[in-house]
Amino acid sequence: MKNILVVEDNPLIMELVKTLLVSFGYEAVEASDGAIALELSKKKILNLILLDIQLPGIDGTEVLKILKEDPATSEIPVIALTAHAMRGDEEKFLKAGCSAYISKPIDIPRFKSVIDEFIA
């Protein structure tokens, strides 16, 4: 089974994303902040990371930077999962190193399509 790390500090969104991933046939690994995400990325074999950008402590852009600088995690695709939906945000996150961008509220068919694209 493919492991997807979900980095999300909102418990309701975390539950929704985990439920969706399980229904799609994936294993969801949970991290409620950036520090936990970085710790888990070293301990688990991950196929994909869904990363909220606004996190307590280490924010998502800093987590992304650390992941991409570490040879052990630099090849894991990271998808920004964020409420940042202003013009230019998607380009900004892609330029920072994200493989894709999904805005909240989540469009479920698009969410599944983007996940499947990186897991296939």
pLDDT tens series, the chain, 120 aa: 899 999 999 999 999 999 999 999 999 999 999 999 999 999 999 999 999 999 999 999 999 999 999 999 999 999 999 886 667 778 888 899 999 999 889 999 999 999 999 997
CB 63 within 8 A of CB 34: yes
What pTM does this model have?
A: 0.94
Ramachandran area for residue 68 (φ above 0: left; ψ -120 to 50: alpha; else beta): alpha
| Residue 27 φ then ψ, to 5° | -95, 125
d(CA 87, CA 106): 17
- Domains of the chain plus CATH, in order, are 3-119 (3.40.50.2300)
Position 60: which residue type? G
d(CA 31, CA 35): 8
